[in-house]
Amino acid sequence: MGLRDLVDSTLSEIRLAANQQRRERVAVKPFLNDIAVAGRLHAESRGLHLAVEPGDSAWAISADPQVLASAVTNLLNNAFKFTPVGGRVVLRARSTEDQRLLIEVEDECGGIPASVGDPFQPFGERRGRDRTGLGLGLSIARKAVRAHGGDIHIRNAPGKGCVFTIDVPLASERATASPGVAE
């Protein structure tokens, strides 16, 4: 799973740098359910529970599914990495009144210490004892989400955990692809 995630992240980074996104209309619920299949295996291998709340069947976004899936997967992998055995990670989607989709990954990591600095900086020293990964996941995730007209926000709950939120525009009912983006 780790090798697959590394390859996916690398391919996403290359496609973003080359501006070679393949946008399409993506139904949110099946998109998140597909990500959850691999996520559940990863969670179980670490002794965690993954809960999925994929949202409304009518929600769709204009996205490059591989690139955006890489961002969501990076957030999930971080949640799995820092949540203690027996803990719970939640992947959920919700919409806002101003036509935005919020994809949240909530963990039980205990919160991000104030001394960490910007967790989105590449190669940051926030890994603690777990030295797996390269320190690029959050940086790649942010680039991927920003390429989709959105951003990532963190809600830190010291002593409990974090909620990483991907905020992207919902697709209009007629939108299928974005002009100017490679098909």
List CB contacts of 33: < 8 A, sequence separation 6 or more.
Answer: 52, 54
Domains and CATH numbers, the chain: 2-169 (3.30.565.10)
Span between the terminal Cα atoms of the chain, in Å: 28
Give the model confidence (pLDDT) of 112-156 as tens digits.
Answer: 887 777 787 765 554 444 545 545 678 888 988 998 899 999 999
Per DSSP, what are the bridge partners of residue 89?
Answer: 50
* Full-model pTM: 0.80
Distance between CA atoms of residues 183 and 85, nearest Å: 42
Residue 122 and residue 139 in contact, taking contact as beta carbons nearer than 8 Å: yes
Give the model confidence (pLDDT) of 68-102 as tens digits.
Answer: 998 999 899 999 999 999 999 999 999 999 999 99
pLDDT score, position 12: 58
Return the structure tokens found at 155: 């809600």
Under the banding of pLDDT at 50, 70 and 90, the label for residue 182 is very low
